[in-house]
């Protein structure tokens, strides 16, 4: 998420602090009815009552999921959606998995007009080719939806990229969790798993690293709360280098909001202060997640990371970057109230994001990126075991570090 969003997200009235917009306080069926009336809604039925909601009309987003006692895991800002594609810089329609193209900024960035001499909130713009218009449904069945769209973008140097994008969205059954995450679903824990398998194909001229490359960027908006924390495991590295970067995005994150516990980065997901951190290809494990202590909701994301080192688009806000291909493979953004520091943002969300490498594709060549989301809801004891195994840190440690007793 970019700092443009701070000023652009639309106010969502009539909710208590950190209940998010209508998505977090409205039942899944009500959300489905609303989207059916204002966009469209495809529901995929999971296990034991879990459900997934997809909207081809809203740029092919996976909108939200129902799991256990949680009616909606993702931000679904109904006021913004009802207003339609009418917002100047970004139609923020939420969703736990949306398709974007990166990088955002720098000489190869595609979110600023060609030739821009400075990068500001006023000239930042999500490219219309994936900020407006529906994805076409190619095929759908009880477990999957296949989508397609032609997308074109232009970078700061004026170089055009013509592409076609296909997205396969589907459910991940609990029987696949051993292969997916190396676990078995504990008894008494509700589960919903889904994925987007994304392919970006060059349909124009060959791409040259000297004039810019683009790749796939998947972002998920999840309902924030004062009891939510992002958890991102990392690999050790020699020399004591920090496992994450933060200052290059929105400035250094305060120590009480971003910590390292064991082999994981912990970050507040409370929508009270804008901040972001990223983890590079060589440090990420290809896994990250979050835990909402109030709802006993464990979320995990798993994304493709190549075994060999590759280029990643750099999205830091400089007109000319010294290292335009040194971007992060994983990022997490926390929204905030720009008008009332410390207050709750109107759209209360945090993001879990992943990116593909960028490659010099010839015409007809493609790059693919799979991003999977898994929700587990149930007893804290069982979720603690899952978090420790998958994300490398116990929930008890996270809670004690982020919300010390008596603070």
DSSP code, position 129: H
Q: Judge whether 263 and 393 are in contact, CB under 8 Å.
A: yes
- What's the gap between Cα 392 and its chain centre? 21
CB atoms within 10 A of CB 27: 11
- Domain boundaries in the chain? 5-402
Instruction: State the Cα–Cα distance between residues 146 and 140, nearest whole angstrom.
Output: 6
Instruction: State the Cα–Cα distance between residues 254 and 52, nearest whole angstrom.
Output: 35
Judged by DSSP in three states, 252 sits in coil
Helix then strand count (H, E) for the chain reads 9, 18
Q: Is the dihedral of CA 374, 229, 59, 149 positive or negative?
A: negative
- Identify the H or E element spanning 331: strand 330-334
Spatial CA neighbour of 62 closest among 118, 101, 23, 14: 23
Longest dimension (CA), the chain: 61
Q: Judge whether 269 and 228 are in contact, CB under 8 Å.
A: yes
Name the burial class of residue 233, with classes exposed (0-12), middle (13-18) and buried (19+) by CB atoms within 10 angstroms of its CB: buried
Instruction: State the Cα–Cα distance between residues 132 and 127, nearest whole angstrom.
Output: 9
The tens place of each residue's pLDDT in the chain, 407 residues long, gives 544 443 434 333 333 344 433 334 589 999 999 999 999 999 999 999 999 999 999 999 999 999 999 999 999 999 999 999 999 899 999 999 999 999 999 999 999 999 999 998 899 999 999 999 999 999 999 999 999 999 999 999 999 999 999 999 999 999 999 999 999 999 999 999 999 999 999 999 999 999 999 999 999 999 999 999 999 999 998 777 889 999 888 889 999 999 999 999 999 999 999 999 999 999 999 999 999 999 999 999 999 999 999 999 999 888 999 999 999 999 999 999 877 777 888 889 999 999 999 999 999 999 999 999 999 999 999 999 999 999 999 999 999 999 998 55
Instruction: State the Cα–Cα distance between residues 185 and 48, nearest whole angstrom.
Output: 13
Q: Judge whether 312 and 374 are in contact, CB under 8 Å.
A: no
Instruction: State the Cα–Cα distance between residues 372 and 264, nearest whole angstrom.
Output: 19
- What's the gap between Cα 369 and its chain centre? 13
Instruction: State the Cα–Cα distance between residues 279 and 288, nearest whole angstrom.
Output: 10
Task: Map tokens 């713009």 to a residue.
Answer: 125
- Identify the H or E element spanning 180: helix 177-181
Instruction: State the Cα–Cα distance between residues 318 and 130, nearest whole angstrom.
Output: 23
CA neighbours closer than 13 Å in the CB half-sphere of residue 104:
24
Q: Judge whether 146 and 137 are in contact, CB under 8 Å.
A: yes
Q: What distance, in Å, lies between the first and last C-alpha atoms of the chain?
A: 29
Q: Judge whether 202 and 361 are in contact, CB under 8 Å.
A: yes
> Residue 120 contacts by C-beta under 8 Å, 6 or more apart in sequence?
none
Could you list the beta-strand ranges (E) of 46-178. Answer: 51-55, 61-66, 98-102, 136-140, 144-154, 160-171
**Residue 8 confidence (pLDDT):** 39
- What CATH architecture applies to the domain 5-402? Distorted Sandwich (2.70)
- Identify the H or E element spanning 398: helix 395-402
What does the block give as tokens for 237? 């590295």
């Amino acid at each position: 998420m970019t700092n443009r969003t701070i000023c652009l997200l639309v106010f969502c009235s009539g909710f208590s602090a950190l209940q998010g917009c209508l998505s977090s306080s409205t039942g899944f069926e009500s959300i489905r009815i609303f989207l059916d009336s204002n966009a469209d809604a495809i529901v995929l039925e999971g296990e034991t009552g879990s459900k997934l909601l997809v909207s081809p009309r809203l740029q092919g987003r996976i909108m939200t999921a129902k799991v256990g006692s949680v009616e909606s895991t993702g931000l679904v800002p109904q006021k913004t959606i009802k207003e339609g594609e009418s917002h100047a810089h970004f139609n923020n329609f939420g969703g736990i998995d949306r398709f974007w193209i990166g990088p955002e900024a720098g000489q190869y960035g595609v979110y600023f007009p060609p030739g821009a001499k400075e990068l500001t909130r006023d000239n930042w713009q999500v490219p219309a080719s994936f900020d407006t218009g529906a994805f076409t449904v190619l095929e759908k069945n009880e477990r999957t939806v296949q989508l397609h769209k032609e997308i074109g973008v232009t970078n700061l140097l004026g170089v055009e990229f013509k592409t076609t994008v296909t997205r396969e969205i589907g459910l991940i059954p609990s029987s696949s969790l051993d292969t997916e995450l190396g676990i078995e679903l504990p008894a008494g824990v509700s589960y919903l798993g889904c994925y987007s398998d994304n392919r970006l194909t060059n349909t124009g001229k060959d791409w040259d690293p000297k004039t810019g490359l683009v790749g796939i960027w998947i972002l998920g908006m999840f309902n924030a709360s004062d009891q939510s924390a992002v958890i991102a495991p990392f690999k050790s590295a020699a020399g004591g280098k920090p496992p994450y970067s933060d200052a290059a995005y929105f400035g250094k994150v305060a120590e009480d909001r971003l910590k390292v516990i064991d082999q994981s980065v912990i970050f507040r997901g409370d929508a009270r202060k804008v901040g972001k951190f990223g983890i590079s290809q060589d440090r990420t494990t290809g896994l990250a997640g979050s835990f909402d202590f109030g709802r006993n909701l464990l979320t995990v994301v798993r994304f493709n990371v190549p075994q060999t080192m590759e280029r990643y688009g750099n999205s830091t806000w400089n007109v000319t970057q010294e290292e335009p291909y040194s971007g992060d493979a994983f990022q997490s953004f926390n929204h905030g109230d720009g008008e009332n520091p410390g207050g709750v943002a109107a759209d209360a969300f945090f993001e879990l994001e992943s990116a593909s490498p960028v490659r010099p594709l010839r015409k007809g060549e493609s790059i693919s990126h799979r991003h999977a989301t898994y929700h587990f809801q149930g007893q804290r004891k069982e979720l603690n075991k899952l978090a420790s195994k998958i994300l490398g840190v116990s929930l008890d440690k996270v809670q004690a570090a982020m919300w010390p007793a008596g603070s």
